[in-house]
Structure 1
């Protein structure tokens, strides 16, 4: 396939052809280069690169790279559809579990969502969504928050815990005081139904997702299944609130 729609290369000089050949063979690299990088790799001058770019119809180097990037994406075979989630990411009875938890939330007086690290953002998102529906909800993302004192004179509470591993030590310590508390119902959203937090909870909304770490330290695992669960709960709650 010819680049830039050029079918007749006769109008290009020998230097132009040198640049053209390098670009056509290294498109994936050129899209990240500067003018001087391309010139150095093609063994020509910076001015030769710019003359070539203008000669083939581009006003600037960024415009030239944008064309290359788009052309490169179109030429690559599609290896898979953009499917991030399907039924296989959840237990078969996930709909039933969502109904149970949504009903418990709807009947409760207070909902506290709890998460640490990346799960903190999900806890805050869930609390905000439920608050929009009129649910008395707030998020706790501080592992040292005096939660026991906060709930001391309250009843009919839901603690909705977010932990992908289900082994977040700070979260375990924070909710441990409520395991046998009749005024508190523990619910967790986790990828491991056999985890410590799952065993501590009355209801478990689980999902499966391949764990992905950067440099064996930074967790880049997808949070899309968790978002699905949050919005699944919201959908059921919205129906209850509007009835």
Structure 2
């Protein structure tokens, strides 16, 4: 409900109001302005200035926004449905998908250097992928820091495997564009093939599951991305051990 810039704009007295509202939101929604002023040990004019900085025309509008925020927070639901994941795993059994993984495993094997990049939950998958591929005989590094420096002439002929659910993360798009400027090949693993990161990539693997958000957080399942990593890693082992052939 409160933005970072809004909170930074508060003075010391207004911070007292903010602190009280954060501690007792359910209580504040039913309080009159004088009651809140008494409890927070500030004047009613301080509360009105606080409301204005929060983007409200007055105390009544602020309480309405607070009420809507609390009611919306209580309506958050997370669907526990694995049918989409099962459907994706079934699709990966097709000859077309199998052939695509075979081709990409060879691309990974032939790359001079391999980096896996992502942010947030996708950054965790990138870290896991780098560890998994390294275990299969192809040394890889991961980048999960948005501002990690990636400008280097030594990146030419490198492969960058990018993980992003939405494919629209500004930080990850920044990494992709910088890597492309260095002559890197981009392989992206995203939820759809119509996102910006997929369009910037040389290769893309979409998996198509429902987006899920909990408040400000993306909690979309990462099972398809992890599955792709493990399938690619096992096919990669065919090249890093004794050459192409069954494991």
Q: Same fold (TM over 0.5)?
A: yes
Question: 1:177 Cα shift?
Answer: 2.5
Corresponding residue to 2:123 among 120, 125, 133: 120
Q: Is the 8 A contact 1:211 1:221 kept in 2?
A: yes
RMSD value over aligned CA atoms? 2.3
Distance in 1, Cα, partners of 2:182 & 2:151: 11
Residue matched to 1:162 = 163
- TM-score for the superposition, normalised by structure 1: 0.60
The Cα offsets for residues 126-149 of structure 1, whole Å up to 9 and x where unpaired, read as 000111122121000111111113
Structure 1 stretches lacking a partner, 5+ long: 1-79
Corresponding residue to 1:142 among 139, 142, 145: 145
Question: 1:158 Cα shift?
Answer: 0.4
Distance in 2, Cα, partners of 1:99 & 1:136: 19
Distance 1:227 1:81, change over 3 A: closer
Distance in 1, Cα, partners of 2:98 & 2:90: 13
Q: Is the 8 A contact 1:90 1:208 kept in 2?
A: no
Residue matched to 1:239 = 238
Report how many aligned residue pairs link the two structures: 160
Residue matched to 2:221 = 222
Structure 2 stretches lacking a partner, 5+ long: 1-80, 243-247
Q: Is the 8 A contact 2:89 2:224 kept in 1?
A: no
The Cα offsets for residues 106-136 of structure 1, whole Å up to 9 and x where unpaired, read as 0111100001011010000000011112212
Q: Is the 8 A contact 2:88 2:224 kept in 1?
A: no
